[in-house]
Chains A and B, each alone.
Chain A
Amino acid sequence: MNQGLQFDDAGRLRHLLTIEGLSRQTILEILDTAESFISVGQREIKKIPLLRGKTVVNLFFEFSTRTRTTFEIAAKRLSADVINLNVGASSTAKGETLLDTIRNLEAMHTDLFVVRHGESGASHMIARHVPPHVRIINAGDGRHAHPTQGLLDMFTIRRHKGAFDKLKVVIIGDIMHSRVARSQIHALKTLGVAELRVVAPRTLLPTAVEKLGVIPCTRMEDGLDGADVVMMLRLQRERMQGAHIPSEHEYFNLFGLTPAKLTLAAKDAIVMHPGPMNRGLEIDSAVADGPQSVILPQVTYGIAVRMAVMALIMGGTPASREQGDRSARSRGPSGDATAERDAGAPIAVAGIPSAGRSRFAGPSADAPGRPREAGMRPAASQVLAPDSAPPNPDEAIKGASKGRDRRAGVPASRKHAPAEGKKRR
């Protein structure tokens, strides 16, 4: 039975594309493993030999400092060889398609790709087309997912606040454009927090967001009240093409986290931010640098969490520990095997434009996923997200569609990137 793109037939995590579809057990296993990697960063020789002789390519189609650097450090601490490619400035600019870029790097015997792309679904598309022994980690795709950020946030919360089931958590800011928020929401719901609220101006709050199991608020006072964890988001000005906020000054007045507003939260609440911060826009410097801020520890933990993800997907963990959660995971309307199969793919929920996905879907993408997608996409979201066109569609789409045309001639075994990869281990 196909258990979704992220898992092999034995239920082992092969790729990390999204937190959606991961069981509570898998998430906790990643966090536990990360816990043991923390010590590696504190010792004299910050290196262990787990991925010695493996080649990791950081394939970044969007700019990033923190994520790329922490992935690079994580891979190096595991003794892998790391190559950083900022593809925006390289072959793609000369007209090479995304799949051609990937295939060329595969030919250099890359073992793991860490991919960031402006298009939702880019990592899924790549994962579908690589041979079985190649692993993919999604380092952020469009507005869809940023799973390692979500995981490191969970790690941070667990370290500073303990058990999830007693916590009130609030996510504040540009929920609409944030892949981080979506990964955080999936992780927090899976781990079973007591209460999860999201706060944003109505224009930055996806419609039907409550379907994800969160309590939407449009006033900071409502969201912050008694919260144990305050997760701020960056206002993604580069993804905004409409009039989402009247002015930055107004936004800060209403939604910026100031010391005064923070007093509404629990006394020992922690403040998180995925970075980069817009000081004086979504967060006051006095809070960002204040005693309740865990923003810099988040960066440190990010290395350990990324090491854990790399080690787990590269080594393959024994046994089929995912099995027990299979049925719980199929929450599609059909609730059948098809829904399970699709658990790892981007779904248009609550106003997330899924243009990227449908355009990326190669021939192996299953058709049954689409009606569900269409059904769950509220029409109103189109009004709320006038900029639903992806930020840099040209190179990506060109790559995807050209690649798709050629897939016809590729042997089936490559098309589906099936799970026979175990043989190589």
Chain B
Amino acid sequence: MTASIDIEAVLARMVEQLRPALKSDPLMIGIHTGGAWVAERLHRMLGLKEELGTLDISFYRDDFTRVGMNPQVRTSHLPVNVEDRHLILVDDVLHTGRTIRAALNEIFDYGRPAAVMLACLVERGGRELPIEPQVVGEHVKLGKNQHVKLLGPDKLELRIQEGNG
């Protein structure tokens, strides 16, 4: 069974939730790969002036010693100094929270931001760390064998799939 979610509506909801945060002149950062796609859309919809940042958290994963390097590491690109800035960290699916933990570690290796806000397209439960998003596009309840996947980058599409993801 696969089910689809209306991505435009989800993005619109996120934009509404993010608007109040604009007064602190935030810097937006997307996590590779899906998070960067979502961040690109939000960045455009919100009309942010400063260049979008991207993070590849491969170097900060906590399972490196078990699974090794991801062969396709993308370069993290933070165009603006994060020191004392308000950041909006964007990811596609929030699950265990480990990706966000890794992303926060990486961000702090670039500097000390004033605040970090977490925005995710989909929140699916199953947290293993005390990490909660401030902005959520869609909450989904998934069964044991289900997972949610973002397809892109040209046309974003959210799919809930059955299987051992």
Residues in A whose Cβ lies below 8 Å from that of B105 = 49
Q: Mark B92-115, 1 if CB is under 8 A from A, else 0.
A: 000000000000011001110000
Asked if B69 and A44 sit within 8 Å, CB to CB, the answer is no
Asked if B56 and A43 sit within 8 Å, CB to CB, the answer is no
Q: Mark A23-37, 1 if CB is under 8 A from B, else 0.
A: 000000100110110
Binding stretch for chain A, among B33-41, B45-53, B70-78, B126-134:
B70-78
- In whole angstroms, how far apart are the Cα atoms of A49 and B64 in the complex? 10
Asked if A315 and B59 sit within 8 Å, CB to CB, the answer is no
Among B66, B73, B110, point to the contact of A36 (Cβ < 8 A). Answer: B73
Given A39-B75, A39-B76: A33 in contact with B109 (beta carbons within 8 A): no
Asked if B73 and A49 sit within 8 Å, CB to CB, the answer is no
Given A48-B60, A49-B105, A50-B59: A33 in contact with B69 (beta carbons within 8 A): yes
- In whole angstroms, how far apart are the Cα atoms of A47 and B106 in the complex? 10
B165 at the interface (CB under 8 A from A): no
- In whole angstroms, how far apart are the Cα atoms of A425 and B110 in the complex? 29
Residues in B whose Cβ lies below 8 Å from that of A40 = 59
B-side interface residues, number (CB < 8 Å): 22
User: How many whole Å from A211's CB to the nearest CB in chain B?
Assistant: 33
Asked if B68 and A315 sit within 8 Å, CB to CB, the answer is yes
- In whole angstroms, how far apart are the Cα atoms of A48 and B75 in the complex? 13
Asked if B56 and A316 sit within 8 Å, CB to CB, the answer is no
User: How many whole Å from B121's CB to the nearest CB in chain A?
Assistant: 25
User: How many whole Å from B81's CB to the nearest CB in chain A?
Assistant: 8
Residues in B whose Cβ lies below 8 Å from that of A318 = 67-68, 71
Residues in B whose Cβ lies below 8 Å from that of A33 = 69, 71, 73
Residues in A whose Cβ lies below 8 Å from that of B64 = 50, 315
A45 at the interface (CB under 8 A from B): yes
A125 at the interface (CB under 8 A from B): no
A193 at the interface (CB under 8 A from B): no
- In whole angstroms, how far apart are the Cα atoms of A316 and B60 in the complex? 16
User: How many whole Å from A404's CB to the nearest CB in chain B?
Assistant: 33
Among B65, B69, B75, B106, point to the contact of A317 (Cβ < 8 A). Answer: B69
Q: Mark A321-365, 1 if CB is under 8 A from B, else 0.
A: 100000000000000000000000000000000000000000000
Residues in A whose Cβ lies below 8 Å from that of B58 = 36
Asked if A44 and B73 sit within 8 Å, CB to CB, the answer is no
A-side interface residues, number (CB < 8 Å): 24
User: How many whole Å from A161's CB to the nearest CB in chain B?
Assistant: 20
A191 at the interface (CB under 8 A from B): no
Q: Mark A293-325, 1 if CB is under 8 A from B, else 0.
A: 000000000000000000110011110010000
Asked if B73 and A317 sit within 8 Å, CB to CB, the answer is no
User: How many whole Å from A24's CB to the nearest CB in chain B?
Assistant: 14
Residues in B whose Cβ lies below 8 Å from that of A311 = 59, 69
Residues in A whose Cβ lies below 8 Å from that of B109 = 43-45, 47-48
Asked if A29 and B59 sit within 8 Å, CB to CB, the answer is no
Given A43-B109, A43-B110, A44-B110: A36 in contact with B68 (beta carbons within 8 A): no
Among A35, A44, A49, A316, point to the contact of B75 (Cβ < 8 A). Answer: A35
Among B69, B75, B77, B110, point to the contact of A45 (Cβ < 8 A). Answer: B110
- In whole angstroms, how far apart are the Cα atoms of A35 and B74 in the complex? 9
Given A36-B56, A39-B75: A312 in contact with B69 (beta carbons within 8 A): yes
Residues in A whose Cβ lies below 8 Å from that of B74 = 36
Residues in A whose Cβ lies below 8 Å from that of B111 = 44
User: How many whole Å from B71's CB to the nearest CB in chain A?
Assistant: 6
- In whole angstroms, how far apart are the Cα atoms of A45 and B112 in the complex? 11
A38-62 residues with Cβ-Cβ distance < 8 A to B are: 38-40, 43-45, 47-50
- In whole angstroms, how far apart are the Cα atoms of A36 and B58 in the complex? 10
- In whole angstroms, how far apart are the Cα atoms of A311 and B75 in the complex? 15
Residues in B whose Cβ lies below 8 Å from that of A47 = 109
Residues in A whose Cβ lies below 8 Å from that of B72 = 32
Asked if B68 and A29 sit within 8 Å, CB to CB, the answer is no
Cβ-closest chain A residue relative to B102:
A49
Q: Using CB atoms and an 8 Å cutoff, list the residues of chain B in contact with chain A.
A: 56, 58-60, 64-69, 71-77, 105-106, 109-111
Q: Using CB atoms and an 8 Å cutoff, list the residues of chain A in contact with chain B.
A: 12, 29, 32-33, 35-36, 38-40, 43-45, 47-50, 311-312, 315-318, 321, 425
- The 10 closest A-B CB pairs, nearest first, are A315-B68, A316-B68, A48-B59, A36-B73, A45-B109, A317-B68, A315-B69, A36-B75, A39-B75, A315-B64
The contact sample of 17 A-B pairs, CB cut-off 8 A, is A29-B71, A35-B75, A36-B75, A38-B75, A39-B76, A43-B109, A44-B109, A44-B110, A48-B106, A48-B109, A312-B69, A315-B64, A315-B68, A316-B68, A317-B69, A318-B67, A425-B66
